Structure 1
Amino acid sequence: MVNTQEPPILPSLPDERSHTRPEQGSADRSDELSDGRPDGLVAIPDAPAVPVLGVDAEVLANALSATLVPMALLDANEPHLVVWVNAAFEALTGYDAAGARARQWDARAQEARDELFGARTELDAGRSTAVSFTLHRHDGTTFPCRVYLSPMSAADGVTHWVAVMQDLTDQISHDREQEEMVEAERREKRSLGLIMQVSDLMMDVNDPATPLSEIAALLRRTVVGWAQFYVNDHGLRTADSLDEARPPSGKGRRHGAPRRPDGGDEPMPRADEMQRLLDGDADRPVELDLATEHPPGSASHWIVREAGRRLEDAATGARSVVVYPVPGRRRVIGVLVVVPRYGAGLDGLEPSTRTVLELTARRVGLVLDNARLYDREHRLAETLQRAMLPQQAEVRGLDVWTYYAPNSENAQVGGDWYDVLQISPDVVGVVIGDVVGHDVEAAAAMGQLRSVVRSYAYDLTRPGPVLQRVDQLVAGLGIPRAAALVLSTLTRSDGRWRLEYSRAGHLPALHARGGVVQQLLGSGGPLIGFGGQDRATDALDLEPGDVLVYYTDGLVERRDRSLRDGLASLTRVVEGVTARDSAGIGEELLSRLADHPEDDVAVVVVRVPEPEDHVAPGRSPRRRRWSLPAEPASVGRARHAVVRTCQAWEMPDAANAELVVSELVANAVMHGFGHVSLQLYDTGDGLRIEVEDGNPAPPVTTDGHPGRVGGFGMRIVERLADWGWRQSSRGKVVWAKVRPGALPPGRDPADD
């Protein structure tokens, strides 16, 4: 039984002490409670009269009863007794004064009594105070309440307490709504921040596998318990590495669907929810129970097995995973598999988390799809362009060096091209041109122009008439890209060479003789296809030792200087060239002008040999470089380049160097990525060969491949040269310094 001396409250709780429940407004309720106090919503007969500006106590009591503010009066000597309440109190709680007194001893009102007891010190001292607690209504509901208590003093001290009540329900609901709005805004900002981070990570598409791993780690740190991407490249696999050249598997490509029980060859039809997701037949996330058995070989079986193994390693204790599709433009590129942080399955993901995961999957799918499309277009354009460029030209009576490299910084493919034609035994054609643009269309237009120019050059020979015919045909073909070019022919007569040339909107070739350089500005005309008139042809007689330099604008054009300044720089470099062969001249140009090109670069250097050509020591940088496509034909070109270089530099053991470069370039073509760079150095005591490719993995010396030919390449290199390798910005560089007389004549290192 609760101690009756404890402080009073204003409870609206069931009475544990009284066996009768006075109903509000009942006609037969008792006028007196067990303690003899009066009951009822009446004036207070025992209360002392309080004159208020001439208003007597009865009028004041009626005014307090009529106010809309819930009020009550408590006996200060026995403060647990409610002696009066107004109508607003009765409307708020459902109790009149008698009902409030009858319910105040309920055990559940202990908190309210404790609050009043704590306030009594202030009230006895004549100071007002306020307390907060939860009150019960007559209908059993509760409401939060703030009670403001003020003492009523008389001559003999405090006689009563005035209690004014404030229902806090609306205020708390408003505060809760404000908190929910703030929390929703916080979640929205967090979601936007995550999507921005995902976008930033996906900016690096050079290696899409890296940002996918980082995005999965970001999701694990912020919104889910575990996350992993899987790509759909001819079957599901972990996104540890991506091959942009491999398209995602298409609709209907099943992952080992189960066979019919009768042994038939046709797959047994079965609805696999994961396969429907991969086929694009479903776009909602799928929940997979890790304990459920799925048909062997199905997509669901593979995901459950793979994700289950990783989750077991991560010790997450997860029982199910949620799978989101990663859609591309036309096909599903992969899936995002997550484990919710709270709860299981889709129910364990908050709405904001679901939004983040859906947007992340869509963003990743769009970027990966763009990367694949760009890579396929780039590979196609590069293949077209490389296929249409001639191999290292070898013409009789002239020293010719050619070079082409796409802009490596932006990995773009353009319409730059060159061509060297042996039109007849005594006539050589040289063409260099540029089609506007860096895409497949530019490469295709370049190929068309190259074929047209080749055909007419063999037929007409003279440059002006050839370009006139090209104008006519291009106008008929409707080639959509503008193009510029220089066409020239070199004709030998009585041991002398004569140059004829015509320009169609292209930069002028350079002619160097005895350190004096001039731009061949004659016979200029509009771009190809815009001629509409006769094309002129200019001529120049060449002397032994003369040099012609043909180039595209990538060699001279920069953002930080004008084209005129670029041409002036090229002229100065050509004037200061010390090399005596075309390859050495070309390498000097590249080393001084093409270290960081902003566009594709094509260069052709033609030199008229002197009767007794030799390389004077110290007059050449003794360094040459070639950019080779990653194709088998590059091996033969590299061997030819090394032999010619050894002859020009008067180096012995050209056969050994040829064999070494053959093995190094073959390895780069077979196992490397992207273009192959070949560089040759004269170290003063031998030839140093460097081959660079995009694969960072080091070369490996093996004992051959069991059951098949090959595998001895690096062992051959070991017998002929000192070699090593180093990392580079593109991948790796494998170098070899050829040792003079490394092998006895006729000895094959593979025989060892």
Structure 2
Amino acid sequence: MEGRDARPAGVPDPPVAVPGAVPAPSVGALSEALLAALEASTVPMFLTGPRRGGLRLEWMNAAFRGQVADGTHAVVGEPLSVLRDLVQEGPDIDPLRTAFDGGSAVQVVVHDVAADGELRWHQLSFSPVQAAGGSEHWLGVQVDVSDQVGEPSGERATVELSRRRMARLDLMTQVSSLLTDLDHPLVLREIADVLGRAVGCRIAFYMNDKGLVYAESVDVNTPPSSRIRTRHHPRHAAQSAPPEGRAWARDVVQDVLDGEDLGPVQVDLGDPYPPGSASDVLQRDVRSRLAADLTETVGVTVYPVPGRRRVLGLLVVVLEPGREFMPSLTPGTTLRSIARRAGMLIDTARLYAREHRLAETLQRAMLPEQADVTGLDVWTYYAPNSDHAQVGGDWYDVLQLTERDVGVVIGDVVGHDVEAAATMGQMRSVVRSYAFEMTLPGDVLERVDELVSGMRLPRASSLVYARLERLPVEPSQGEPLWELAYSRAGHLPPVLVRAGAARLLDGAAGTLIGYGPSVRATASLRLLPGDVLVFYTDGLIERRDRDLRAGLEALAAEAGAVSAVDAAGVGEQLLSRVGSTPEDDIAVVVVRVPDVRSDVVPTDGGPRSRRWLLPSEPTSIARARHAVVRTCQAWQVEGASQAELVASELVANAVMHGWGHVALRLFDTGRTLRIEVEDANPSPPVPTDGHVNRGGGYGMQIVERLADWGWRPTRTGKIVWAKLHGVSTFTGALRRVPDTGSSGQSS
């Protein structure tokens, strides 16, 4: 009609005002009233965001907050998956995923145990809600249906639930057993095989360590999850054109790796993904590795393997056409739980490995670089207890104080942690400072007491400090003598071995360092040629099945029976007889006064192995030669010059091309000598034809001519070994050992 507004079809005329009638509420008023009604409803309700946004919780009423969140969990803003952790048995997520992807309503039943222990059943209903602008939300409603579940059907449901739980528990037990051995080279593949047989599909792990790659094992040396990986998109991915008539699919795998989507997500093997993206990399590998024999398009579900701070990798599930998940399990919940457990254990193993490397590096850095000692045969040894991650408070030091004086100190800081190691480093520096400044050991410890009290070190420490002074040679005697002075601060007494008898040097005792300044005594005695001093920490003798006094008696008895005539041999014999099963860190220093007139080698010769730890510096090469020559003389081995040359070249190679301390070991194989040199450089030695225009480069050629040699990797570097040609070991007649003082260090 003319004069009336033209309205589109289907739009009603505005309401006509009726005199006396109540005005109709506005749309805004209706919305406020509806929101107030939903908030006050006794039926628990919540609203999520769209599927693309991860179904994040946007609103929940008071009834829902009171039941599932207890008013203490700030779950608004988090993904819908957070609700699964608030019930004892969550639903299978596959029907939910299908409904969400298709935009259709769905109902699932979950169960929980109330505070009184009663089993309760809840029905969750999800309905799509179209909001303004075409945005899709989901309304969730929770209804307690425990009373509607009849007794027979409830019993059947309970039996089925118990069966599912037992199947899931059995599967979790198998996987947990495999996860206890992450060092196994095929641990992830075995877990995937177990899971695949249980749920009836193909499963594989992909780790995001150096890019997203298929993984059969765990590299525990990879940094833990604090390190964030970059996205997989190539630099020019945006310039790549998608197939004609199609658009690039969203890189859902990268969203999972970045933690933006808690998963699981679907990867369609037919969708085009940006080249080089995480989804593209995974899609290509799944096609070739897991679905190469399948002709139809298969469904691929991706679960995150989360660590503490980032996603470590993916658990990829390939469901073959025509097959379904095993009905005895709730696959979604089970696989997610296993992926989460695997991620936490992998992250823990990597964290422990990193701390272990850090602790070992710290401990190695604090090992003293022993000085050459003139006129004495010195051997040192340190071995941390593996249970303490190679960090301990045991320490030692050997100092060439003057041309005629030598200092020896051994100590133990209370505790086995980084703090104990740090205190040990400070104590070593303090003792070194006063040892060069003062003469009497008692005076040195008094000054250490005073300084430590001012420094407020957190740990107490025991130690023995000894000073050996070389006396002038008397023409009538023809032998150098040494004067020993020592003082003890709560530490075990050193052992003196003389003429086959051992006794404890228990004089000059005092309290631990760290309990305040105190007067310190000094005890002294004269050392004769052939005397042996053994300094040690309690790890050498302390055992759970005996008291400390019995351990001291055992040490004295074994020290008196030692037959070796070199410091290294004495130390090796004591370790094999007393310290073979240590329960704590061990530090040992053996000092022997050589005796030219009476040093002979008994037929047994003691343990036929020696070891020394040397600093990575050129002086260690000469020290290694000296140690090998003296050992060959002690073992009555002909061909000491050949062994000396091979050891010299191997140690020189480690000093020049390696790093860290150098470990030298010598073994009597029964037929020949075997020399081993270890350093922290994992790169293997390579024989060369020498260096042009400069000397050197022929070391390994020399070794090849004199020995069979090889190398093997270790956890901290490598070991290069050599078996000598034409050198036979034997124990013949007694043989005199020349008077040559030597120093060695073992670990």
5+ residue gaps, structure 2:
1-146, 241-247, 473-479, 729-747
* Aligned CA distance change for structure 1 residues 313 and 741 (closer, same or farther; 3 Å): same
5+ residue gaps, structure 1:
1-169, 264-268, 743-752
Distance 1:234 1:705 in 2: 37
SS state of the match for residue 387, structure 1? helix
Matches within 5 A, 1:133-282: 175-205=152-182, 207=183, 209-247=185-223, 250-251=227-228, 253-259=230-236, 272-282=251-261
Deviation at 1:508, TM superposition (A): 1.3
Aligned equivalent of 1:620, options 605, 608, 615: 605
Deviation at 1:277, TM superposition (A): 2.2
Aligned equivalent of 2:465, options 478, 487, 490: 487
Deviation at 1:339, TM superposition (A): 2.3
Residue 287 of structure 1 is matched in structure 2 by: 266
Residue 323 of structure 1 is matched in structure 2 by: 302
2:290–2:318 CA contact under 8 A, matched in 1 = no
Deviation at 1:512, TM superposition (A): 1.0
Distance 1:331 1:606 in 2: 54
Alpha-carbon displacement from aligned partner over 1:538-579 (angstroms, at most 9, x marks no partner): 222211111100111221122232222222221111000111
2:187–2:218 CA contact under 8 A, matched in 1 = no
SS state of the match for residue 380, structure 2? strand
Deviation at 1:458, TM superposition (A): 1.6
Aligned equivalent of 2:280, options 301, 311, 335: 301
Per the normalisation by structure 2, the TM-score is: 0.66
Deviation at 1:593, TM superposition (A): 2.3
Alpha-carbon displacement from aligned partner over 1:619-646 (angstroms, at most 9, x marks no partner): 5225233265997989846555324423
Deviation at 1:672, TM superposition (A): 12
SS state of the match for residue 373, structure 1? helix
* Aligned CA distance change for structure 1 residues 191 and 482 (closer, same or farther; 3 Å): farther
* Aligned CA distance change for structure 1 residues 643 and 569 (closer, same or farther; 3 Å): same
Give, as a single letter, the amino acid of the residue that structure 2 aligns with 1:186.
Answer: R
Distance 1:710 1:241 in 2: 42
* Aligned CA distance change for structure 1 residues 412 and 706 (closer, same or farther; 3 Å): same
**Rg larger for:** 1
Give, as a single letter, the amino acid of the residue that structure 2 aligns with 1:218.
Answer: V
Indicate yes or no: 2:514 matched with 1:529.
Answer: yes
Give, as a single letter, the amino acid of the residue that structure 2 aligns with 1:216.
Answer: A
Distance 1:505 1:537 in 2: 14
SS state of the match for residue 294, structure 1? coil
Residue 13 of structure 1 is matched in structure 2 by: none
Deviation at 1:290, TM superposition (A): 2.2
Indicate yes or no: 2:559 matched with 1:574.
Answer: yes
1:393–1:401 CA contact under 8 A, matched in 2 = no
Residue 449 of structure 2 is matched in structure 1 by: 471
Give, as a single letter, the amino acid of the residue that structure 2 aligns with 1:301.
Answer: D
Deviation at 1:313, TM superposition (A): 5.5
Indicate yes or no: 2:632 matched with 1:646.
Answer: yes
Distance 1:244 1:630 in 2: 29
Deviation at 1:734, TM superposition (A): 7.4
* Aligned CA distance change for structure 1 residues 462 and 622 (closer, same or farther; 3 Å): same
Residue 739 of structure 1 is matched in structure 2 by: 725
* Aligned CA distance change for structure 1 residues 525 and 585 (closer, same or farther; 3 Å): same
Distance 1:281 1:561 in 2: 59
Aligned equivalent of 2:405, options 422, 427, 447: 427
* Aligned CA distance change for structure 1 residues 573 and 209 (closer, same or farther; 3 Å): same
1:554–1:599 CA contact under 8 A, matched in 2 = yes
Distance 1:524 1:315 in 2: 81
Give, as a single letter, the amino acid of the residue that structure 1 aligns with 2:567.
Answer: S
* Aligned CA distance change for structure 1 residues 505 and 338 (closer, same or farther; 3 Å): farther
Aligned equivalent of 1:600, options 576, 585, 595: 585
Residue 102 of structure 1 is matched in structure 2 by: none
Matches within 5 A, 1:328-343: 328-340=307-319
Residue 590 of structure 1 is matched in structure 2 by: 575
2:369–2:614 CA contact under 8 A, matched in 1 = no
Distance 1:500 1:279 in 2: 66
Give, as a single letter, the amino acid of the residue that structure 2 aligns with 1:641.
Answer: A
Distance 1:448 1:271 in 2: 57
Residue 488 of structure 2 is matched in structure 1 by: 503
Distance 1:713 1:301 in 2: 51
Distance 1:308 1:665 in 2: 52
Alpha-carbon displacement from aligned partner over 1:285-315 (angstroms, at most 9, x marks no partner): 2221222232222222222222332204576
Distance 1:632 1:219 in 2: 54
Distance 1:334 1:666 in 2: 44
Give, as a single letter, the amino acid of the residue that structure 2 aligns with 1:220.
Answer: G
SS state of the match for residue 220, structure 1? helix
2:300–2:317 CA contact under 8 A, matched in 1 = yes
Distance 1:545 1:517 in 2: 13
* Aligned CA distance change for structure 1 residues 300 and 669 (closer, same or farther; 3 Å): farther
* Aligned CA distance change for structure 1 residues 442 and 314 (closer, same or farther; 3 Å): farther
Residue 377 of structure 2 is matched in structure 1 by: 399
1:510–1:517 CA contact under 8 A, matched in 2 = yes
Deviation at 1:377, TM superposition (A): 1.6
Distance 2:442 2:377 in 1: 25
Give, as a single letter, the amino acid of the residue that structure 2 aligns with 1:181.
Answer: T
Deviation at 1:677, TM superposition (A): 6.7
2:487–2:521 CA contact under 8 A, matched in 1 = yes
Distance 1:302 1:520 in 2: 71
Residue 427 of structure 2 is matched in structure 1 by: 449
Give, as a single letter, the amino acid of the residue that structure 1 aligns with 2:632.
Answer: C
Alpha-carbon displacement from aligned partner over 1:677-716 (angstroms, at most 9, x marks no partner): 7542456775333568999x99999888999x99998765
* Aligned CA distance change for structure 1 residues 296 and 705 (closer, same or farther; 3 Å): farther
Q: How many residues align?
A: 564
Give, as a single letter, the amino acid of the residue that structure 2 aligns with 1:467.
Answer: L
2:667–2:675 CA contact under 8 A, matched in 1 = yes
Residue 544 of structure 2 is matched in structure 1 by: 559
1:723–1:735 CA contact under 8 A, matched in 2 = yes
Give, as a single letter, the amino acid of the residue that structure 2 aligns with 1:547.
Answer: V
1:625–1:677 CA contact under 8 A, matched in 2 = no
Distance 1:322 1:179 in 2: 31
